[in-house]
Amino acid sequence: MQSVVYKNYINGEYVESSSGERFVDNNPADTDDVLGYFQLSTREDAKNAISAALEAWEKWSETPPGERGRILIKASEILDSMREELVNILTMEEGKTLNDSRVEINRAISLFRFYGVLASRIHGESLHSSELRTHLITIREPIGVVSVITPWNFPAAIPSWKIAPALACGNTVVFKPASYTPLIGYLLVEALIKAGIPKGVINYVTGSGTTVGLEMITSKNVDAITFTGSLEVGEEIRRLSATSGKNIRIQLELGGKNPAIILPDADIDKAVEMVARGAFGLTGQVCTATSRAIVIDKIADEFIRKIVERAKKFRVGNGLKEGIDIGPVVGQRELEKILSYISIGISEGAKLVTGGKRLTGGEYDKGYFVEPTVFTEVSPDMRIAREEIFGPVLSVITASSFDEAIDIANSVEYGLAASIFTNSLDKAFEFMKRIKAGVVKINKPTTGIEIQVPFGGFKKSSSETFRELGETVLDFYTKIKTIYIGY
């Protein structure tokens, strides 16, 4: 692929960073394959973007919602017209397989359409007063300038589910994509530009989280921050945004350590398939990935035998190729983190039953490939049972009863997604009530979410301030004004 230099997009213009420096974006399946060079921006660049967003806000907030929605729908159509190109780029940039990229690009297209249509449906309430000749109404107003900071693992879908509703509600946006995956974000912004978004309404700035990101979370001109990423950075954002002296609205969606409980009455083969898909699919680089299988002891041997067989069947390789099930991990740092957790698991006394190594030789040497890995004899207090690994590593924990399984599932500091596999209606409902997670699945993998319903975690997986997706997300991107009308 021919390498191009990509610029920031600030106040309706493509501009270079004041640093004059750039960083490279390459393919994690073949690091010689360079997708492009991006601006290594400074705090000054981020400040300019925020000022542009502030200046554009008033006019955009007064633009009729139907017109804002029309632009989002048009952007959706533009993305649709370049679907296969986007699918290929996503695979080259992030590493996921073409099938997985297709699912994600379809989702991004749907998100722009969904929030484009919803723009005209943003509404308040009309209520009866307790006083005579009085009427009560509420209206929703946009909040202002929104900082959008996103991770690399869903670099098309996550920015789309933040940017589209933010714009639909009449806010302006400064968007910083993850440094591993700036190109797909660049193309989303380009679609909005082609669709006719006015200058300053969307601004795109690439560069490191600790410079560009820092300005975006501490600026007095920012009214809201929406962030998806790691727990560590999320906690830093929570702390720093509180010191800005302004009441900044924040929404943080962070890590997970998602359990799947398998009860003896479950369809074991189906459970194995779904746990495998949740644990190893997308190379385990999913916030909702299944990282703990909690199995009732009397079926543990059968489950372990089958999950190991299944793990071995995943074909790991360059996602651009036919027949590949999972691609590389995204970078050197992530590869080292996964391998270090595998060593930690071994030294903690867990039993490594399959996988555990970096794949090497031939084409594997050009990228960051890891074997699907299963640990058994994992106890709930081990680090591999508590900390997010963010790779294709499954810890199997046994429990003697349903109650114990629920206690183990709830014993970590995260609470994003959780599954149960059972044919008992009674147990399924009890799980639904007792599990501390924002996304609960019954006989379904922990991964996989739909856009028309709310999404977000409990406990440290989320700021728990606001939910994303669905119509619920409008609560984050608008503020409510209550009006008392006497006549």
Shortest distance (Å) from residue 23 CB to ligand NAP: 9
Q: 334: Cβ–Cβ under 8 A, 6 or more apart, which residues?
A: 285, 368, 390, 391
The site partner of 457 among ligand NAP, Mg ion, none (C-beta below 5 to 8 Å per kind) is ligand NAP
Q: Which of 261, 287, 378, 435 binds ligand NAP (CB under 6 A)?
A: 287
Residue 355 within binding range of ligand NAP, rule CB under 6 A = no
Whether residue 361 contacts residue 320, with contact meaning beta carbons closer than 8 Å, is answered with: no
Q: What angle do CA 61, 64, 65 make, to 5 degrees?
A: 85
Distance CA 443, CA 462 (A): 24
Give the whole-angstrom CA distance, residue 86 versus residue 157.
Answer: 12
Judged by CB under 6 A, the residue of 116, 200, 256, 259 near ligand NAP is: 256
Angstrom distance (rounded) from CA 56 to CA 173: 10
Closest to ligand NAP by CB, 253 vs 371, is: 253
- The rounded distance, in Å, linking the Cα atoms of 73 and 71 is 5
Cβ 416 vs Cβ 288: under 8 Å:
yes
Burial class (CB within 10 angstroms; exposed 0-12, middle 13-18, buried 19+) of 185:
buried
Q: Is 169 a catalytic residue?
A: no
Nearest-approach distance from CB 262 to Mg ion, in angstroms: 36
- Using CB under 6 A, which of the segments 159-167, 212-220, 259-267, 347-355 binds ligand NAP? 212-220
d(CA 162, CA 150): 9
Q: Is 60 in the site for Mg ion (CB under 5 A)?
A: no
Is 287 designated active site? yes
Which of 233, 324, 385, 409 binds ligand NAP (CB under 6 A)? It is: 233
Q: What's the one-letter identity of residue 259? A: P
> Which of 180, 375, 431, 455 contacts Mg ion by CB under 5 A?
180
Q: Segment contacting ligand NAP (CB under 6 A): 172-180, 305-313, 420-428, 470-478?
A: 172-180
Alpha carbon distance 219, 230 (integer Å): 21
Please choose which of ligand NAP, Mg ion, none residue 217 contacts, taking the beta carbon within 5 to 8 angstroms, the exact cut-off set by kind: ligand NAP
Footprint of Mg ion (CB under 5 A): 25, 93, 180
Tell me which residues are annotated as active site. 253, 287
The binding site for ligand NAP (CB under 6 A) comprises 149-154, 176, 178-179, 208-210, 213-214, 217, 228-230, 233, 236-237, 253-256, 287, 388, 390, 416, 457, 461
